[in-house]
Amino acid sequence: MIDMRVDLAGMRLPNPLMPASGCAANGKELHRFFDIAELGAFVTKTVLADPRSGRGTPRMAETPSGMLNSIGLQGPGILDFTRGDLVWLKSVGARVLVSIAGNTAGEFGDVAVALSESPAFDAVVGVEVNISCPNVANRGLVFACDPLSSANVVALVREKLPRHIPVFAKLSADVTDIVEIASACVKAGADGLTMINTLLAMVIDTDLLRPQVAGVTGGLSGPAIRPVAVRAIWQVRAAMIEGDIASVPIIGVGGVRTGDDALQLVAAGASAIQVGTATFNDPTALVRVKHELAAALQDKGFARFSDAVGIAHTRLDKAR
């Protein structure tokens, strides 16, 4: 049997599989299909300080090999989350990676403080900082598109949380140089990186000749973005190998539907894998991908999952 255990900046997990934020709500629906405590960790939907109703409808559009969503970070706010969903996640034994965001850098800090003061905080194994949202204090520019804004948020969240809780910065590939943003986040104290969020995209309804989702633009996810995720993970991992960025674990996400898909992200440098859109048409995708990934690694002669992380960087000559 292959050893699938991972240690992500001190976050010790039995296996590297987790749902992508926002794609499995806060666990109750998936738990009807399998025990979510079997996942490496459970990543929650991004939570902000206050309740948010999200964008107008329609909020989804199909695209070739993917989908567009324009949900707009709908949610109940941090206090409701910590009193309800987090308590439930703890009751079923899930290891919780909480995704947080804010409209300003200060709000990210407030959410981190409220989380750390909550009674079920001992179920939290890490925090994922979703910086792919607009900075109200900076003309609505997405935090993740600016190294300074990204670093400010990461430094603030790092400062507000206890040291034993690793902080993962979730990056967007909608930037000119993702290595620059990754570097700013790691220098600011990120213990790990999650890559990638959805890509900004748009669909036009050709009957009505208007944007298909009410928010006009939306985030593209699914297999269509997998090659972008592989490229982004590769570039950041390469910078770590070169010594340009301190080496921290990368959680890979983007278009994973099968064990082979996951293996691409792992070989590029991901130490864990999140599955998002695939869960919508196969609620058991996470369990299936875990088995398929383990089988693929075993077939290739690996004894440990961790031995395959970034392996493609050592095989460049063979690729030519």
Per-residue x/- track, 7-46, ligand FMN (CB under 6 A): -------------xxxx---------------------xx
DSSP annotation string for the chain: --B--EEETTEEESSSEEEPTTSSTTSHHHHTTS-GGGSS-EEPPPB-SS-B----S--EEEETTEEEE-----B--HHHHHHTHHHHHHHTT--EEEEE--SSHHHHHHHHHHHHTSTTGGGEEEEEEE--SEEGGGTTEEGGG-HHHHHHHHHHHHHHS-TTS-EEEEE-S-SS-HHHHHHHHHHTT-SEEEE--PEEE--EETTTTEESSTTSSEEEESGGGHHHHHHHHHHHHHHHHHTSS----EEEESS--SHHHHHHHHHHT-SEEEE-THHHH-TTHHHHHHHHHHHHHHHTT-SBGGGGTTGGGG-HHHH-
**Within 13 Å, how many C-alpha atoms sit on residue 170's CB side?**
27
Restricted to residues 281-320, the positions that interact with ligand FMN (CB under 6 A) are: none
Q: Does 254 bind ligand FMN (CB under 6 A)?
A: yes
Question: With contacts defined by CB under 6 A, how many residues of the chain interact with ligand FMN?
Answer: 26
Per-residue x/- track, 223-252, ligand FMN (CB under 6 A): --x---------------------------
Q: Does 61 bind ligand FMN (CB under 6 A)?
A: no
Exactly one of 103, 198, 212, 264 binds ligand FMN (CB under 6 A); which one? 198
Residue 5: how many other CB atoms lie within 10 Å? 14
Restricted to residues 162-181, the positions that interact with ligand FMN (CB under 6 A) are: 170
Q: Does 190 bind ligand FMN (CB under 6 A)?
A: no
23, 133, 145, 185: the catalytic one is 133
Residue 79: how many other CB atoms lie within 10 Å? 15
Q: Give least dist CB 320 to ligand FMN, A.
A: 29
Residue 300: how many other CB atoms lie within 10 Å? 11
Q: Compare residues 52 and 95 and give the one whose CB is closer to ligand FMN.
A: 52
Exactly one of 126, 147, 215, 255 binds ligand FMN (CB under 6 A); which one? 255
Per-residue x/- track, 86-105, ligand FMN (CB under 6 A): -------------x------
Q: Does 275 bind ligand FMN (CB under 6 A)?
A: yes
Among the candidate windows 32-40, 111-119, 270-278, 299-307, which touches ligand FMN by CB under 6 A?
Answer: 270-278
Q: Give least dist CB 70 to ligand FMN, A.
A: 9
Q: Does 267 bind ligand FMN (CB under 6 A)?
A: no
Nearest by Cα to 6 from 93, 97, 129, 99? 97
The CA-based dihedral angle spanning residues 7, 12, 17, 20, taken in that order and rounded to the nearest 10 degrees:
-100
Q: Does 145 bind ligand FMN (CB under 6 A)?
A: no
Q: Give least dist CB 226 to ligand FMN, A.
A: 7
Q: Compare residues 160 and 170 and give the one whose CB is closer to ligand FMN.
A: 170
Q: Does 264 bind ligand FMN (CB under 6 A)?
A: no
- To the query of whether residue 133 is one of the catalytic residues in this protein, the response is yes
Exactly one of 71, 114, 268, 286 binds ligand FMN (CB under 6 A); which one? 71
Positions marked active-site: 133
- Contact footprint for ligand FMN (CB under 6 A): 20-23, 45-46, 69, 71, 73, 99, 130, 170, 197-198, 219, 221-222, 225, 253-256, 275-278
